[in-house]
């Protein structure tokens, strides 16, 4: 099997496949004014999503994550999950804000979902509502419990590392992890085209969490081959784990193993790059699978060694929902 590899020797086994740019949350770090439609919603059809996923699986991908925006806004999400699962990929994952998680997770699991990541930036009800624009923490956490009951291979929470929530947030999440086999991954706030002022006010370095964990006996764990960029930390007294995604840390890009395809069928080599490679013309029924794989391979050969966030260059992403995070 041909493997996706760039000129720096990095191999790519993980595809993040966006299925929509729309979102129904108003998170302060992404869409504080809510989602605004600026172009027709001509997002990938189920057959197109399956074809692009199959191409990446044929090139060695072992994990496909459906992202957005908010993927659950797609009424055909179970069909999308089933289509990706039908490619034979080892792991079918989903990132969601949890809006309909309790109601829909059973159908998603039945369609072939094996992992779910739920965005929960705070376990404090008021803080959650302030960050997301919705007072739905109780519903979201009920969905997380339902996902655990169903026995998915992995259930994770994503929390953006915000300066004004960090200290109390760590304590709250540690209590939550004591009895639950969940990974809570804190993600550094990242600059995008639309959030410069927010970034300046709220960015906290990953060392804030590292220092907190070290002082309490949490130990860093080795990363799995198909894991994303998170470093996970375990403690013998807790069933769950903390994770940290720190894109401003030295060497962050050295172990990159992920590529992105947007909801409109554009291959993005880096979340913070400029432009991409259009794949959509090769996702149609009369297109050649070899041509699709060849275009992907050729594009990956030109992937840059790293992002340029430290230089203030954020690429052409206005916000994270535009690219699938």
Length of the chain: 325
* Residue 204 confidence class, pLDDT cut points 50, 70, 90: confident
Neighbours of 200 (CB within 10 A): 10
Mean pLDDT over 188-207 rounds to 81
> With 90 as the cut, is the pLDDT of residue 69 above it?
yes
Per-residue pLDDT tens over the stretch 247-290: 877 777 778 899 999 999 999 988 776 678 999 999 999 999 99
> With 60 as the cut, is the pLDDT of residue 91 above it?
yes
The helix, strand and coil proportions of the chain, stated in percent and rounded to the nearest 5, come to 35, 20, 50
Residue 173 falls inside a structural domain: yes
> With 80 as the cut, is the pLDDT of residue 193 above it?
no
Residue 202 falls inside a structural domain: yes
Per-residue pLDDT tens over the stretch 31-65: 888 888 888 889 999 999 999 999 999 999 999 99
Mean pLDDT over 226-230 rounds to 71
What token pair was written down for 319? 């916000």
Residue 315 falls inside a structural domain: yes
Mean pLDDT over 158-173 rounds to 88
* Residue 180 confidence class, pLDDT cut points 50, 70, 90: very high
Per-residue pLDDT tens over the stretch 17-26: 999 999 999 9
| β-strand pairing of 63-67 with 183-188 | unpaired
Residue 3 falls inside a structural domain: no
- Asked if the bond preceding 69 is cis, omega within 30° of 0, the reply is yes
Per-residue pLDDT tens over the stretch 75-88: 999 999 999 999 99
Residue 5 falls inside a structural domain: no
CA of 208: how far to CAs of 47, 106, 169, 231, 246, in Å? Answer: 44, 37, 12, 14, 11
* Residue 116 confidence class, pLDDT cut points 50, 70, 90: very high
CATH code of residue 281: 3.20.20.70
CB 182 within 8 A of CB 156: yes
SS3 129: helix
Tokens 């993005």 -> residue: 268
Overall number of domains in the chain: 1
d(CA 208, CA 176): 19
Residue 168 falls inside a structural domain: yes
User: Which domain, by its residues, includes 120?
Assistant: 14-322
Looking at residue 131, its pLDDT comes to: 95
Residue 8 falls inside a structural domain: no
pTM, to two decimals: 0.93
Looking at residue 318, its pLDDT comes to: 59
- Mean of pLDDT over the chain: 90
> With 70 as the cut, is the pLDDT of residue 324 above it?
no
Q: Which helix (H) or strand (E) holds 104?
A: helix 101-111
Mean pLDDT over 104-121 rounds to 98
Residue 248 falls inside a structural domain: yes
| β-strand pairing of 183-188 with 266-268 | unpaired
Neighbours of 306 (CB within 10 A): 16
């Amino acid at each position: 099997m041909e493997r996706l590899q760039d000129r720096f020797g990095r191999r790519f086994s993980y595809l993040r496949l966006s299925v929509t740019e729309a979102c129904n949350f108003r998170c302060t770090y992404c869409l504080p004014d809510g989602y605004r439609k600026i172009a027709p919603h001509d997002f990938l059809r189920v057959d197109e999503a399956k074809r692009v996923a199959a191409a990446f699986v044929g090139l060695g991908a072992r994990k496909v994550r459906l992202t957005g925006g908010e993927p659950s806004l797609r009424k055909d999400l179970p069909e999308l999950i089933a289509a990706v699962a039908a490619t034979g990929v080892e792991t079918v994952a989903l990132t969601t804000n949890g809006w309909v998680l309790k109601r829909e997770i059973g159908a998603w699991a039945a369609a072939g979902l094996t992992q779910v990541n739920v965005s929960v930036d705070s376990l404090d009800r008021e803080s959650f509502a302030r960050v997301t624009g919705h007072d739905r923490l109780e519903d979201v956490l009920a969905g997380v419990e339902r996902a655990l009951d169903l026995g998915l291979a992995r259930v994770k929470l994503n929390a953006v590392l915000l300066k004004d929530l960090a200290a109390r947030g760590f304590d709250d999440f540690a209590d939550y992890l004591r009895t639950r086999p969940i990974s809570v991954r804190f993600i550094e706030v990242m600059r995008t085209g639309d959030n410069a002022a927010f970034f300046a006010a709220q960015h906290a370095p990953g060392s804030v969490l590292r220092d907190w964990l070290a002082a309490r006996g949490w130990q860093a764990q080795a990363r799995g081959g198909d894991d994303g960029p998170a470093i996970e930390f375990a403690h013998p007294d807790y069933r769950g784990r903390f994770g940290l995604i720190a894109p401003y840390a030295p060497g962050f890009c050295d172990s990159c193993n992920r590529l992105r395809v947007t909801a409109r069928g554009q291959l993005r080599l880096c979340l913070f790059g400029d432009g991409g490679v259009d794949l959509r013309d090769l996702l149609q029924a009369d297109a050649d699978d070899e041509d699709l794989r060849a275009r992907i391979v050729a594009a990956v050969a030109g992937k840059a060694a790293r992002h340029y966030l430290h230089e203030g260059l954020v690429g052409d992403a206005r916000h994270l929902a535009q690219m699938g995070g």
